[in-house]
Chains A and B, each alone.
Chain A
Amino acid sequence: MMTEELSKQLRLRRPARLKFDEARQTDLLLLPERVIRLNPTAGAILWLCDGERTVNQIIEELQTKYNQTDLKADVLDFLTQAADRGWVETWK
């Protein structure tokens, strides 16, 4: 992984939008023709893709939040998939 890529700021790909849904008590990713029900980890990662935080910062925050030190590979794996599916802007 290039350092340059890790310092990229990440954002959702418009018009995707996140919502915490009261009725279902879960995070949802809203897309034009789809609604994705996110598991808690996926939700936690995507909420941090706000266009301000870099990939590195997102990893660090998640590691602090879950009190772990080895989340980098999992987070990068998820973000790669999220970009492939058009949920977040391409960052590589």
Chain B
Amino acid sequence: MEVAIPYALTAELTHRCPLHCAYCSNPVELSRREHELSTQDWMNVWEEAHDLGIVQLHLTGGEPLLRPDAEQLIRRARELGFFVNVITSGVGVTEKRIRQLALAGVDSIQLSVQAPTAELADAIAGSRAHESKQKAAQWIRAAGLPLHMNVVLHRQNIDLVEDIIELCASWGAERLELANTQYYGWAYLNRQHLLPAKAQLAAAEEAYTRAKERFGQQMELIWVIPDYYEEFPKPCMGGWGSISMTVTPDGKVLPCTAASSIRTMKFDSVKEKTLKWIWEESAAFNAYRGQDWMSEPCRSCEHRFRDFGGCRCQAYLLTGDSGQADPVCQRSPHHHMITEFISTMNAEDHAGASAEPGELFPSYAYRGRPVMNGGIAGENI
């Protein structure tokens, strides 16, 4: 099968992070500092990515700016002609650091925010972060960069989406991604605290539509759908191994950020193989390319060219088999796993179902912190 030229590479420079968000998409087993790729390793990745035809780099984490070599990596990336996007919590950065990133040539900085008020935002992040974000927003604009923001929406903040949009507008955001939680990594672990009720979701989507009308060109609003409530799955990653790849802090190359959760697959590392070989030849990247791997109901389904069978990681997390149809699909034999979970989250006696937004803080498994109530403990790094 002919392999397409990839467009984008997401580099998780580190899994270390000052925040402990319960919906983090990082794997539950976070990569440790001593295993992180060196500056030179990352520069080699940039060169190989450039030779492969990649044009866009997303530097993320964890918190990518915990790497003191971020500027150096950005400078080299710009020399190679990449469009460089940094995704940051804004925590711990200084005005000087932002200026240095701008000087190094960063094209765009995306700043995360958790909620419209410091109290709720800090409870969600498991850290005092909100105030430093406001400053980071100012400094990003002062450095002459457009302010792009994102918020992950879930049960605890989705009712406040209108206030969140207002807050981002008041900070001068030109683009805001309203991303409903996707249930991988820490988010999957915490999903019984995170999935909003259907009525919450409907109200939030209406608020988004109103805001989109109101802000028009001033602030671009993007709504990332909550796929558990969809009838058909999302076309995850635009198809496995067709547009982009992720490199983890220790050098593993994944077809998507969440793929390390698939225990039955082996993902190759840039420490042992070239990026080109991994993209074109490796078993992992070829496993779900095209349609030949599909079984029913996907194999004969008219949606297969549009959604590619949905998300492989979600299929694995819910069914234990990454080759199954995404259970979000109403035609999947495992779809009941989604509908049953949704119905418990919409039951009147669900904890938090009647709470005022932000009043009830669930017992999250905060990422990177030991879990107190018998859940799975993550490594504290």
Name A residues whose Cβ lies closer than 8 Å to a Cβ of B. Answer: 14-15, 17, 19, 21, 23-24, 28, 30-33, 35, 86, 90
**Known A15-B108, A15-B146: A23·B83 in contact at CB below 8 Å:** no
| Nearest CB of A to B279, in Å | 12
Does B85 belong to the interface (CB within 8 Å)?
yes
The answer to whether B217 and A90 touch across the interface, beta carbons within 8 angstroms, is yes
10 A-B pairs with least C-beta separation? A23-B53, A30-B83, A32-B108, A15-B107, A15-B108, A35-B7, A32-B85, A23-B5, A15-B146, A14-B146
Does B312 belong to the interface (CB within 8 Å)?
no
The answer to whether A19 and B107 touch across the interface, beta carbons within 8 angstroms, is no
Give the one of B145, B177, B217 with max A CB within 10 A.
Answer: B217
The answer to whether B217 and A86 touch across the interface, beta carbons within 8 angstroms, is yes
The residue from B8, B53, B107, B145 contacting A24, defined by CB atoms under 8 A apart: B53
- CB-defined interface of B1-38 with A at 8 Å, one 1/0 digit per residue? 00001011000000000000000000000000000000
Q: How many residues of B contact A (CB 8 A)?
A: 21
| Nearest CB of B to A31, in Å | 8
Q: What residues of chain A lie closer than 8 Å to B193, measured between beta carbons?
A: none
Name B residues whose Cβ lies closer than 8 Å to a Cβ of A. Answer: 5, 7-8, 52-53, 55-56, 81, 83, 85, 107-108, 110, 145-146, 148, 175, 177, 217, 220, 222
Q: What residues of chain A lie closer than 8 Å to B108, measured between beta carbons?
A: 15, 32
Closest A residue, CB atoms, query B52: A23
**Known A28-B55, A30-B56, A86-B217: A17·B83 in contact at CB below 8 Å:** yes
Q: What residues of chain A lie closer than 8 Å to B5, measured between beta carbons?
A: 23-24
| Nearest CB of A to B211, in Å | 17
A90 to B110, CA, bound (A): 23
| Nearest CB of A to B74, in Å | 13
Some 29 contacts from A to B, beta carbons below 8 A apart, are: A15-B83, A15-B107, A15-B108, A17-B107, A19-B81, A19-B83, A21-B53, A21-B55, A23-B52, A23-B53, A24-B5, A24-B53, A28-B55, A30-B55, A30-B107, A31-B83, A32-B83, A32-B85, A32-B107, A32-B108, A32-B148, A33-B177, A33-B222, A35-B7, A35-B55, A35-B83, A86-B217, A86-B220, A90-B217
